[in-house]
Chains A and B, each alone.
Chain A
Amino acid sequence: MDRRIFTAGLAGVAGTLGTSLANEDQSAPFRGKAEHVISIWLGGGMGALDTFDPKRVGDPASKKAGSYYPSIPTAVSEVRVCEHLAGLAPLMDRVTVVRTVNHTVIDEHAAATNRMHTGRPVGGSTQYPSLGSVVAHEKGALAGGIPPYVVIGYPNVTRGPGFLGPKAGYIYLTDTSQGPAGLSRPELITQPRQNRRNDLLGKLREAGAAERTGKVREYDETIGQLGRLGGPEFLSAFQMDGESAEMRRNYGSEFGQRCLLARRLVERGVRFIEVSHNLNFLNGAGWDVHNEGIKDQHLLIRELDFAFSTLIKDLEKRRLLDKTLLVITTEFGRPPEFDSGGGRGHQAAAFSCVLAGGGLRHRGAWGATDEAGKKIIQDPVGVPDLFATIYACLGMDTGKNLMDGERPVPLTDMGKPVGALFA
């Protein structure tokens, strides 16, 4: 309650920081209507040349720089993608590959991961909130008893709420067949047994209720809320066997099941879901394809393609695609050159992220890199710009400030939404 009043009070107000003032005029017109975000994280660093920004094919054996795979045409006439994205190719009119994302962190995965989650360089005086936490903080969940922000992947600081505090944090799970740790009944306790436990606990709480005051009572009442959040409305999302066998097949592997679960969470009112695609089984290294790690990269790309194209079609069929912004991000890209083992190093100066759905005016691709895929030649999109685009798509005012205690912090680090995506 307090928070909503607080944020309402701030809406439309220019910040005390000059940069956000300068931004105000441009940001105001760009207001999308999306309500959810499914953000797919490709940990390790997806190489754009081998996926969404194909160039001339190179040769790892002779160390001739270039793409690893041939490209194919897509639904958008001048936009091509790698041959392993065949499922997405006909859907590219619902997609915009942002080909000119860039930052300066290249040597360290954790630091780059932090940059791509917070939109800022690491600062010595505060921990910035993640994209998901900002959305959770600003917009809350769409329904009561539902958490606003869910991570399907391992918990870490980078995905966390930073100075916004635990209320803007996520709940997480690593196994789609189980609910989130702490909210769902553990496998080894059957439902009848859980009922027995709840019954016993309920009676004991009643028997001792008279002694409870203040904070203790507040805590006691929260046990009741647990019943709601850990209860059927929300937890039914995790009962995936409710989906038809065909639907589950369409989504494919465990990663696909994560995407399916993300859709189910959207249906229940979760605002922001981060889905990690780095299960590593296909090629060990995940997207971090140094040396021999690149040999089975196509399996990863196909898995992504399979699940992501199903997700787009499924959301579209359910009329959720315009309300749900799909995002694919990664900590950095990979250069056109090959390393001594035939794989690729890191490249942060130009790489691709993907936006889809969310009611944006999609164009297949935005921005352009040079022939080699090393330099940006048109429409650079900084990480803050990408974040501003996502916030704007959700109808958020990109000029506003968050509060780090008493200190105003602009929503993004001088980011400007990509205007062309807003019809």
Chain B
Amino acid sequence: MIAECVFLLVFGCQGGPEGQAVARWDFDTEDSASFQAVGNVQRDQPGPRPPEYPGFNSDNTAIRLDGKGARLVLENPPKGGQFDFSNGDAITLEAWVQLTHLGRGGNPYVIGKGRTGESGFAKDNQNWALRLREKDGLACVNFLFATPKNQSGAADSHWHRFTTTEGFRPGMRWHHIAVTYEFGKPGSIKAWLDGKLCPGKWDMGGATGEGPVVDRDSVWIGSSQAGLSGSSFAGSLDAIAVHRGVVPDQTLASRFRGVGADLSEMPAPEKMPEIGIIPAGKVLVSVQEGAAAQDRWLLRGEQLSAPTVSLALNHALIDRLPLRYDTWGIRDEWNAPVLVRMAADLNLPPGSHTLLARVRGLSRLWVDGKVVGRGGPLKGSPSGEEPITPVAAAPIPGARVAEHRQQEIFSTLELASPTQCRVVLETLVGGRQFRADPGETLLAVREGGAARYQLLGDRAIPLEDGPVNEALAANELAVAIVDDQNRRRLGESRKDFWSMRHEKARQMVLDIRAKNEAAGLVQEKSVDAFIDQKVKNALSGKGTRQSSENNWVQEKVMPILQAGCLRCHGEKNKGGLRLDSRPAVTRAGDSGRKAVVPGKPESSEMIRRVKSIDQKERMPPGHALDTAKVQLLEEWILSGAPWVDQEGHAVPPVSSPVLNDHGFARRVYLDTVGVPPTEKQLVAFVRDDRPDKRSRLIDRLLEDDRHADRWMGYWQDVLAENPTLLNGSLNTTGPFRWFLYDAFRDRKGVDQWVSELIQVRGGVHEGGSAAFGLASENDTPFAVKAQIIGSAFLGIEMQCAKCHDAPFHEIKQKDLFSLAAFLEGKPLPVPASSRVPAAFFEADKSRQPLIRVTLRGDEPIRQAWPFEAATGCKDSPVLHEYLGNTRDGRSRLGALVTSPLNSRFPRVIVNRVWRRLMGAGLVEPPGDWEGRSPSHPALLDWLAEELMANGYDVAHVERLILNSLAYQREAIGKNLAAVPEQRFFSAPDRRRMDAEQVVDSLHAVAGLPLDVEELCFDPDGRRPASNRLGLGRPRRAWMLASLANERDRPSLTLPKARMVTDVMEAFGWTGARQFPKTDRDTEVNVMQPGAMANSSLAVLLCRPAPGSALARLALESSSPGELVDGLFLGILGRVPSPVEKELLAASLREGFESRVVAAKTEYPRAIDPPLPKVTWSNHLRPESNRIGLELEERAKKGTAADSRLSPDWRDRFEDAVWSLINLPEFIWVP
């Protein structure tokens, strides 16, 4: 979170001997001394400037802080230095402040020493501080210090706080504040506001003759107490000074050189903004921050920031703001309210014309320098009781109606001659308590008595639904391009750092390989070489004995021991027992009873334990072995417990044949872009006769933007992305889906995005990586995050460690919390709710409990890296070259996990990639490596090296795998179920499409876009994003989210989205991802064919809707046979067999010739009339519930089919489509 900017500090003499400034910060560019910025500190912001504030330069700059912990830190100044004030010392503190927001009971810090919450210091070590303090909405000047704690006094008796009785109202006006005090002389306190001496009072411990705490804690500007919001300054600061001694009254009285009038009450003069040249036919749109409130225009002395984003559009129409990014190009929150300007030049003939603006919030419409219309400010939202807002009336018949609660501003222009007018719309969007969403904001004009309104800009677009929807789509595309450009431009700032890291990683790999070469080691260079090598070794191995006995033991018995016993009774030797060799199993452990007595299952302790009904005794702990396995073990012991060595006895299956072109294309499309190829793409690929066509296709697909989509659902699961549309519940996160999506589209190295994820930056609710940091309703969010980081990126499972040491792992509770402390930024105690009650351990002393707690309850755990052994990475200065900031725990953790010094990270990543493409990992399971061995250690190493040597680009590894024969073989492998020794990857495992692929493929086959509601219960933007999130309108299945309607209210239904999530849930997707997982439930269950057969989604997508690929196919095929070929290619990706072809063709033959009954599509059913909008604000009205049900009905009906097709034939066509998507083959990847 620490930006690397430097603020400079001037030490020296300013003022006389009574008031020597020991430090002063003007935040101008020429200052020089190092200070660290933490959090959202914006520099080069406008400071107090003339004419309102004479005495400053006209380009004076200040810093702006977000009031959420943003601060400047001067760490641990030396003892006895200029910031130490003991009893008898005099101090003067002064600053220029522009406080934009003051919460109730707030104490925003201007500058203070101590009370930082940093480790090693008491919480109440306030050396001294200048603050403001809220009283009745006013900001009063406040001075605070603590004396060393006196045990006998009241709890707050060592606090000494002086507050003025007068104050100022927060806003955009600058104020000068100052305090002078001689420690030890309580009567010496004086406080100044805008050059006036203000009376005030001491409280808490009251006035004191004692001196303050003096220690080496840091000096902070703008915050305190570890960044507590109530103690943080929201607004701008300038000219802060600390003096030794008392600055004379006359000096302080003259400091405030403002004009003296109460600027806060005086609106800035209204003036149409200067826009400059606007290209013909274009609309210029800009977004500016710095507006103080959503319900008023600027006051004198207030200034907007320069536009954050400007763009030119073809149509005067937006329905969202361009995205705001932080300095790394990570999505961030708009500092709302923002001012949106939309400007265009309009050529009009003589006559009387009407201008129309649609806006959401406070607005003014200018024409040639004059305000011609105004809109009122946005108002807050009640929780459900708001009267229903009727659907707006169209301004003229046929025109598009205004969106829910958008205001319409009309203005008439009377022109005597042809004129070019400049039209400017200014509108405030969002606010401190409102999501920054402009709604459908537009400018249109109706010329003279014309029958239609037209959008400004490229005037071809009439204000009618069809054309406006097209214009919206076009503008969305244009805004998205600007977003991409802005993000990538900002992301450039990190390029050097990451190039440096990637170069180091590459060098490390080269060194390893050079060393291996020097040592004469054979180094394979392709996936297949490694796969073949293992097969060859197995075949040539010393003991390919293939007696049936060996096979039986090898295939049946060993896996039971492997899966059920060896985790504890292997290397770990739990209970003094090992079960990993023949001699060992026949020995006794600590219990004194022999685990296996060959030939005598009834005397074998192993059998007694696995059969025990006593949960405390039974092995393995947890789920009992099923009876079949117990029987196998009994038979094995009965037959003398024969043993098979691990080495050399595995018998590799014969490699499966390479997949044909059709199958390959379908598989590789699904694996890279998540949808099958279209008929055209497929045919082109099959016909292509270049020998390298498979590699070419792979390259093209890996370059495809949709490749990002393909990875989304996977990482959302693994990282437990869990945004909620209503109130947060367990482990709700922000929508960091957007951060991931941006990272994948921008092709960031996996080390970079993981590192940025860990550093939780940007907007929590806007989809920055900060969204990952949230975990609502959780007693220790960062412990959960540490657990996720461990399993996702390091293959280290720490779930148990939340409450106790892990029973089957080496992980201690302390390990998890020491990792969490990096994220927390300070030592972290185990919360009471995550402790095992003492009663647990006292209840049953007959057996040592499986779990242990080695942590004292309230002991705060300091940050420490527990995984040196597992990762090879050490928390030492060697790491510093991979760090942006050596002091920030998150930055450090990011480097510990992702730097090339960590050998585990690239292996875990490539294993995940491998597994996703091959159906089984080289290491299983991918999130928990402890005690597991890879099936192909050398291949794992090689892939990891390839990742490291190629900028941590995952696509590079995908390319290596996709190009291998191992990937391209027919999927008849059984690798997932095999023990590592028997996992040969002679064929990949068959995989079922995941939920996202099913839904996206159904849409791809139909040739229709995903069509669901906007995921938001506050579409009118009247609540903060923290309260009602907006997730937009999903385009791909992964963009959906939990629609959980815990309140069972029909008014809160999103029926079209639910049609989609019903199908996805049947296939194992869950919208609520409270916990991380790599594998969804893959059990086949009846709801899956049910979803394909009966779900509204699947049934409706079989319908040849106007404009769909299915309609085109139905209309354009020249014979039933051709049509059936097209259906098979488009849906199943292959040519039908003669039997199949005839089956379907027969059903379509009747009426084929006369199937086209009309030349043009018509919409027979009247388009459903628009309904009033249901939102969180009105959802408790009975009418809202009725509307909800009506929407459900409409969703079930779907849109009409293409009316050119005769209904009877069309039904049979739909039946054919339905039967093909219901074949198992459709949802099983070839």
Contacts and interface: CB of A to CB of B under 8 A. Distances in A.
Interface of A: 2, 5-6, 9-10, 12-19, 21-22, 41, 43-44, 108-111, 113-114, 121-127, 153-158, 165-167, 171, 174-175, 181-189, 193, 196-197, 200-201, 203-205, 207-208, 211-216, 218-220, 222-223, 225-226, 229-230, 276, 278-286, 288, 291-293, 401, 403, 405-408
Interface string B631-646: 0000000000000000
B271 interface: no
Interface stretch (B328-336, B457-465, B775-783): B775-783
B1137 interface: yes
A185 B1096 CA distance: 9
B1049 interface: yes
Contact of A214 (B990, B1058, B1140): B990
A276 B1047 CA distance: 10
Contacts of B621: 406
A16 B614 CA distance: 9
26 contacts: A18-B842, A110-B1044, A114-B729, A114-B730, A124-B775, A124-B833, A125-B834, A154-B1053, A155-B1044, A156-B1046, A157-B1046, A158-B1046, A166-B1083, A182-B1090, A183-B1090, A186-B1099, A197-B1215, A200-B1144, A204-B1144, A208-B1137, A208-B1225, A276-B1048, A280-B1049, A281-B1186, A285-B384, A407-B800
Given A18-B843, A193-B1211, A278-B1048, A205 B1089 contact: no
Contact of A167 (B1053, B1083, B1227): B1083
A182 B1084 contact: no
Contacts of A219: 992, 1084, 1088-1089, 1224, 1227-1228
Contacts of B747: none
Contacts of B1228: 215-216, 219
Contacts of A171: 1087
Interface in B1172-1216: 1180-1182, 1184-1186, 1192, 1196-1197, 1211-1212, 1215-1216
Given A196-B1215, A222-B1086, A226-B1089, A408 B1185 contact: no
Nearest to A147: B1086
Interface stretch (B525-533, B1012-1020, B1067-1075, B1149-1157): B1067-1075
Contacts of A291: 385
Given A127-B1075, A278-B1047, A216 B1180 contact: no
B1211 A6 contact: no
Given A156-B1044, A226-B1090, A18 B839 contact: yes
B310 interface: no
A200 B842 CA distance: 65
B627 A124 contact: no
Nearest to B776: A122
Nearest to B834: A124
A152 to B, nearest CB: 10
B953 interface: no
A296 to B, nearest CB: 9
B730 A127 contact: yes
B1081 A181 contact: no
Given A16-B615, A200-B1216, A284-B1181, A181 B1096 contact: yes
Q: Which of B1048, B1089, B1181 has the most CB of A within 10 A?
A: B1048
Given A41-B1048, A222-B1088, A189 B779 contact: no
B1047 A21 contact: no
A189 B1181 contact: no
What 3 A-B pairs have minimum CB-CB distances, sorted nearest first? A18-B843, A406-B622, A182-B1090
Interface in B832-872: 833-834, 839-844, 849-850
A122 B729 contact: yes
Contacts of B384: 284-285
A43 B1049 CA distance: 9
Nearest to B972: A213
B1094 A184 contact: yes
A217 B1181 CA distance: 50
Interface string B661-681: 000000000000000000000
Nearest to A15: B615
B777 A122 contact: yes
Nearest to A285: B1180
Interface stretch (B96-104, B420-428, B802-810): B802-810
Contacts of A111: 729, 777
A343 B775 CA distance: 34
Nearest to B849: A16
Q: Which of B626, B1094, B1143 has the most CB of A within 10 A?
A: B1094
A22 B808 contact: no
Contacts of B1063: 182
A157 B1196 contact: no
A231 B627 CA distance: 33
Contacts of B1144: 200, 204
Contacts of B779: 124
Nearest to B1099: A186
B727 A108 contact: yes
Nearest to B1074: A127
B150 interface: no
Nearest to B1140: A207
A189 B1099 contact: yes
B518 interface: no
Contacts of B808: 406
Contacts of A9: 613, 624
Contact of B1139 (A12, A207, A278): A207
B843 A21 contact: yes
Given A181-B1095, A197-B1218, 10 more contacts: A5-B624, A13-B613, A111-B729, A207-B1143, A216-B1228, A219-B1227, A222-B1084, A280-B1180, A284-B1185, A406-B623
A155 B1066 CA distance: 13
Given A225-B1086, A403-B622, A19 B1224 contact: no
A66 to B, nearest CB: 25
Contacts of A17: 840, 843
Interface in B1020-1063: 1042, 1044-1051, 1053, 1058, 1062-1063
Q: Which of B777, B808, B1139, B1186 has the most CB of A within 10 A?
A: B777
B1074 to A, nearest CB: 5
Given A219-B1228, A284-B1182, A204 B1085 contact: no
Interface in B966-998: 972, 974, 990, 992
B844 A18 contact: yes
A111 B1093 CA distance: 35
Nearest to B1042: A157
B726 A223 contact: no
A226 B729 contact: no
B803 A125 contact: yes
A281 B808 CA distance: 53
A288 B1062 CA distance: 28
B563 to A, nearest CB: 12
B1197 A188 contact: yes
A324 B807 CA distance: 41
Q: Which of A108, A124, A187, A230 has the most CB of B within 10 A?
A: A124
Given A201-B1222, A216-B1224, A226-B1090, A280 B1051 contact: yes
A124 B731 contact: yes
Nearest to A127: B1074
Contact of A156 (B974, B1045, B1099): B1045
B432 interface: no
B180 interface: no
A189 to B, nearest CB: 6
A108 B1143 CA distance: 57
Nearest to A401: B615
B1090 A124 contact: no
Nearest to B1184: A284
Contacts of B1196: 186-188
Interface in B596-655: 613-616, 621-624, 626-627
Contacts of B615: 10, 13-16, 401, 408
